[in-house]
Structure 1
Amino acid sequence: MNFTEAIALSLCLALSLGTAKAQNLLTNPHARATLSLNGEWQYIIDPYETGFYDYRFKEKAERDPGAYWNSGAADSRTDLREHGYDDQATLRVPGDWNAQDPKFLYYEGTVWYKKDFDYQKKSAENRVFLYFGAVNYQAEVYLNGKKLGRHIGGFTPFQFEIPDSVLQEQDNLLVVKVDNKRYKDAVPTVNTDWWNYGGITRDVLLIETPGFFVEDYFLQLKNGGTNARPIAENAEAAGWVELNGATKGEKVHIAIPELNLEKTIAYAGERTAFSLRLPEVELWSDANPKRYAISIRAGQDELNDQIGFRTIAVEGKQILLNGKPVFLRGICLHEEMPMEARRAYSKEDATTLLGWAAELNCNFVRLAHYPHNEHMVRTADSLGILLWSEIPVYWTIDFGNPEVLEKAQAQLQEMIARDRNRPSIIIWSVGNETPVSPTRTAFMKELVKTARGLDDTRLISAALEVHYNRDKNTIDDPLGAATDVVSVNEYLGWYVGLPSYCQTAQWETVYDKPLIISETGAGSLGGFHADSLTRWSEEYQEWFYEEQVKMMKRMPDNYTGFTPWILTDFRSPKRNHPVYQEGWNRKGLISNTGDKKKAFYVLQAYYNWIEAQGQK
């Protein structure tokens, strides 16, 4: 057995043992009975993790008064305490710590967050969960001195049920140890081209449920057929429902009032399948983002949501949305508000960022390089913007380590669990620019397999690299054999030659599948003007896009999408030119001051042309 075979076997063993299984998540938390714990939290910076480890570097005992999950308050004046929380040191939640105080700018390490709250349950039989939209990167969560659990992964949600013996009606002490250090065996790994924002970066909620409740569901049209009409008649939708705490035989009532549809099924004691016949349904699309209210009721619980019905499929060299070929006029996007140099987290942030994309005349956004917050996805649902959602398997993670595969699969499961009912997401991506090797390809194919097992109604892709040839650029990454769509990042004219190289560049792919150019771009400092040969000028970036557009018009007939890098400038510690970068990746079409660069209008004109001509 060679090395590659051994790695493949170890990956299969890890899967067969179920070690990659992630927790279940409550679907649509914002529509449930909740108490928001957003706001000001007190904090302690703890670079040596003194509040977690004793002097022998072992995790402290639960009742250790020196543990930072305790308040630090002394019972008497003789008690020794070496930590404490105070209103002199607070951070906003949700939010990254880097943007809130200059001392946090480059900080990577542990910060303890503390929040006091009162809470009285509506009914003694009810259950209470503590839900986090995301914490970067590792979270240890304590309530009233009791550890509720740990979560690893900086961009996906998690929750813990709070035992009745722990929850108090008054003066609850909630403490979260947040650690954003980078590790070789983490996902993402130590080397990334974006800012490692630390903190509790998304919403924190207390969620109260009945004793048994609707935990999760899925519903979507079955793929099939090529009828491109905007209204489907007699369409079949298939799905499932999962209850938490219920016994077999419990009645589940499903209703879509606008379609006059109601159905009652008996819960099978596990995930229970059902189907609906839709006599006439208006299809969700980029041109018509129609959504329907749905309610799922079991016992005393009712889950409400808004969903869109649509199909997405590949047929030969085309991507079909509702049976009709669609060209993806896209842009890449980081979860960042450039004008404030901070993580984006709110509905208002999502409206701003996706509003800029819509102004470009985009119908597609690649959410790079990790799952973005739920407000972003739900806003895209409402605007009719198609999405690519990705896990941060980025560059050179440790592909030979089965534990890294488990972490990647857990993040994949949590991403899909949160957003499987969002019609805007049409592509799950399992990674970006991973270097070709047999070990890497075995790793990535396992992720593709996992994604298909979790959701077979969407397309699977990954952003591949390209090796350039002066005469012809061939896309032949072996991972492309496993994905539904072949996606490639190319930087001809920036990292390879000048934009004029595009004039003679030819492209081919060995795969008879749809092709997306998932990245291309050039840097420019907003407001810096010179001739088109001067790097970092807006004119160079403008020239780059002009030549890229001409090249795109000569692409092979399987060319089905274009998502340049990137909508806005974003922060990156890798970008250190003292004049032109200053810690920013400058490939944005919009500067960090919010101003549109000249290249913005070149891409906008191309997309207007595509839409008007109905061609590539």
Structure 2
Amino acid sequence: MIKSTLSAFLLLLLLTQVAVAQRLDLIQNIKGRQFVSLNGQWNYIMDPYEMGYYDYRHLPFDQSATGKGGFYDDREQKNKSELIEYNFEYAPQLIVPADWNSQGDIFKFYEGTIWYRKKFSAQPKADKKYLLYFAAVNYEAHVYLNGKKLGVHKGGFTPFQFDVTGKLKEGDNVVVVKADNTRKQDEVPTVNTDWWNYGGITRDVLLAELPQTHINDYKVQLAKNNLKQIEGYVQLSGKEKAQTITVSIPELKIKTTAKTDTSGKASFTIPVKKMTYWSPENPKLYDVVVSSGTDEVKDRIGFRTIEVKGVDVLLNGKSVFFRGISIHDENPLLPGRLRNQGDMRMMLQWAKELNCNYVRLAHYTHNEDMVRLADEMGLMVWAEVPVYWTISWENPETFKNAQQQMTDMVVRDKNRASVVVWSIGNETPLSEPRHAFMGNMAAYTRSLDNTRLVAAALEVHRNGFDVIVDDPLGEKLDLVSFNQYGGWYWGVPKELPKYTFKIKYNKPVVITEFGGEAVAGYHADEETRWSEEYQEAMYKYQLQMLGKVSALRGMTPWILVDFRSPRRQHPVYQDFWNRKGVYSDTGEKKKAFYVLKNFYDQMQQKYK
């Protein structure tokens, strides 16, 4: 057993090294570039039998000798005897970006393949580079341009791109996407989740135009635990890699230059004399300009440090309490994913009304616009990948997938001051293969970015009135962060003050989940489950119980607002809704909201 576990761990280490070299090329700040949006109406074909991808012997058309025969050919009948069993031109349309589940009753529970097609016009220039960029497609996307396959991407919440330089035609072009949200055991997340499996092209599709040699990536942040020094790098992509790069912050009168090495990378450090540091109380963002001889990119970046010292979390060197709440990427008022910045701002504003300074964006990578809004609005962020519950711990491809999703999230969001925690997973059960998988995920995440905290939402175990936190993974994390559902899945609210936490690690404690369900407007006594009074009492007694934890430095109760889930089937109280929100699905504040807000008001005064 020890030998097999060690072998698995060494294999994971090898995969780590391979992945580092694989996909660190995802472009930074796509919306800071010249682009054309391909959002809007896309024709679609629902294909539950995947007849547009496989022939009658179940062999993929795009792997045949001709590469022809699938829906991606977008064929049109050339003569009256020609047989074609599909037609995009007369097919109905879906809105992009958006999930398909919320765009018609026929899609509500649909899991499988839908083909999307979009026609667009292009005038490619010989001296430019072109990227076709997808902010997210759930879950597996096969992408074709003008009948030719560009590639495949797995992962429903992270961006991906294809170089289409030389593949665009002057005038009319067509992009076809096979989107498949089928749940599978070896994927990330796996088959078992507690949220709606929204399928489709759920985020922006952009065609970016860049110089042939362009700024592909950059990092401009304070050095680890150092308020007096900015450090970072600029990475060029293209043939002209020998250039001088410039990083400037006009408001601070900062301007520095550096020369790239043979790989096109230039590193720099900038001493800081005086700066307004980003914080929830003052979310200051600076205009930052990154330029080279051939390209220029503008961004808005905040600067802050985050670290752990003993049982304290220090933001810019000062102890902070995470007054948080968990959030799903879902609009309760309009079914489906959050579609635009208005939806996202609403959710973050609801968190602000609760007096939050912190949000847990669970259980997967949220939209880049959401994180940028958190920058602007002054909300610290816990950012997570969907290593959730019962992942296939011993499958190397599953680990590689999880690692890639972490890579893409860190690469995309590393310049966002709001992101203070990278989370490697949620409620993963103890086992030796899991310890190897998760331990290596923690080490890999630190190798990507050592300036933020690394955490995971752990499980607890109970022995009588003792709540025990003893997970080997805890040694490798910065926070003792765990989920516990006293008063809902175990015990009753009024008994909670009898419980005591036995925590093995001398680190800051952040409760990543607690809560229970209540139907807004249903009133009874505090012992009647599903009532607002029951949820209110549970919050009151939870806070009494947690008050005994001397190292408590934050929490993100579950959850801001009621959300949809196929697991929640009680026909009277749930009807496919998880009702643990402190807001209802219509935006109504439940009684528990006021209990939590009162506690956060007290914590705000205590940690001034």
| Pairwise TM-score range, normalised by the shorter structure | over 0.9
Letter in 1 for 2:129: R
- Give the corresponding residue for 1:39: 40
Cα deviation, residue 163, structure 1: 3.0
Looking at structure 2, the residues matched to 307 and 535 of structure 1 have their Cα atoms a distance apart, in angstroms, of 46
- Give the corresponding residue for 1:152: 154
The residue matched to 1:118 in structure 2 has which SS? Answer: strand
Equivalent residue in structure 2 for 1:105, among 105, 108, 120: 108
- Give the corresponding residue for 2:246: 253
- Give the corresponding residue for 1:133: 135
Give the RMSD, CA atoms, in angstroms. 1.5
Cα deviation, residue 471, structure 1: 2.6
Report 1:387-426 matches (<5 A).
387-426=381-420
Equivalent residue in structure 1 for 2:71, among 62, 68, 74: 68
Equivalent residue in structure 2 for 1:117, among 107, 117, 120: 120
> In structure 2, do the counterparts of structure 1 residues 37 and 370 end up closer, same or farther at CA, with 3 Å as the change threshold?
same
Cα deviation, residue 10, structure 1: 2.7
Looking at structure 2, the residues matched to 275 and 346 of structure 1 have their Cα atoms a distance apart, in angstroms, of 36
Identity value in percent: 48
> In structure 2, do the counterparts of structure 1 residues 203 and 16 end up closer, same or farther at CA, with 3 Å as the change threshold?
closer
Answer whether contact 2:16 2:444 (CA < 8 A) is retained.
Answer: no
Looking at structure 2, the residues matched to 246 and 238 of structure 1 have their Cα atoms a distance apart, in angstroms, of 26
Answer whether contact 2:61 2:68 (CA < 8 A) is retained.
Answer: no
Equivalent residue in structure 2 for 1:338, among 332, 341, 363: 332
Q: Which ranges of structure 1 fall in alignment gaps of 5 or more residues?
A: 226-231
Query: Could you state the TM-score of these two structures normalised by the residue count of structure 2?
Result: 0.97
Report 1:164-179 matches (<5 A).
164=166, 166-179=167-180
Cα deviation, residue 65, structure 1: 5.7
4+ runs deviating over 6 angstroms: none
Looking at structure 2, the residues matched to 173 and 402 of structure 1 have their Cα atoms a distance apart, in angstroms, of 36
Looking at structure 2, the residues matched to 42 and 224 of structure 1 have their Cα atoms a distance apart, in angstroms, of 51
Looking at structure 2, the residues matched to 95 and 403 of structure 1 have their Cα atoms a distance apart, in angstroms, of 29
Answer whether contact 1:246 1:269 (CA < 8 A) is retained.
Answer: no
Answer whether contact 2:225 2:451 (CA < 8 A) is retained.
Answer: no
Looking at structure 2, the residues matched to 448 and 476 of structure 1 have their Cα atoms a distance apart, in angstroms, of 17
Cα deviation, residue 300, structure 1: 2.8
Looking at structure 1, the residues matched to 335 and 542 of structure 2 have their Cα atoms a distance apart, in angstroms, of 29
Report 1:11-30 matches (<5 A).
11-18=12-19, 21-30=22-31
> In structure 2, do the counterparts of structure 1 residues 313 and 64 end up closer, same or farther at CA, with 3 Å as the change threshold?
closer
Answer whether contact 2:365 2:384 (CA < 8 A) is retained.
Answer: yes
Higher deviation after alignment, 442-451 or 242-251 = 242-251
- Give the corresponding residue for 2:481: 487
Cα deviation, residue 13, structure 1: 3.4
Cα deviation, residue 324, structure 1: 0.3
The residue matched to 1:406 in structure 2 has which SS? Answer: helix
User: Does 1:593 find its partner at 2:586?
Assistant: yes
- Give the corresponding residue for 1:229: none
Report 1:213-612 matches (<5 A).
213-224=214-225, 235-270=228-263, 271-555=265-549, 557-612=550-605
Higher deviation after alignment, 216-225 or 495-504 = 216-225
Letter in 1 for 2:53: F
Cα deviation, residue 484, structure 1: 0.8
Looking at structure 1, the residues matched to 385 and 84 of structure 2 have their Cα atoms a distance apart, in angstroms, of 42
> In structure 2, do the counterparts of structure 1 residues 365 and 19 end up closer, same or farther at CA, with 3 Å as the change threshold?
closer
Letter in 1 for 2:134: F
> In structure 2, do the counterparts of structure 1 residues 221 and 587 end up closer, same or farther at CA, with 3 Å as the change threshold?
same
The residue matched to 2:523 in structure 1 has which SS? Answer: coil
- Kindly provide the CA deviation profile for residues 61-82 of structure 1, in whole angstroms up to 9, marking residues without a partner as x: 4756631112231111111100
- Give the corresponding residue for 1:228: none
Looking at structure 2, the residues matched to 16 and 277 of structure 1 have their Cα atoms a distance apart, in angstroms, of 32
Answer whether contact 2:535 2:592 (CA < 8 A) is retained.
Answer: yes
Looking at structure 2, the residues matched to 246 and 347 of structure 1 have their Cα atoms a distance apart, in angstroms, of 37
Q: Which ranges of structure 2 fall in alignment gaps of 5 or more residues?
A: none
The residue matched to 2:273 in structure 1 has which SS? Answer: strand
> In structure 2, do the counterparts of structure 1 residues 577 and 604 end up closer, same or farther at CA, with 3 Å as the change threshold?
same
Answer whether contact 1:66 1:83 (CA < 8 A) is retained.
Answer: no
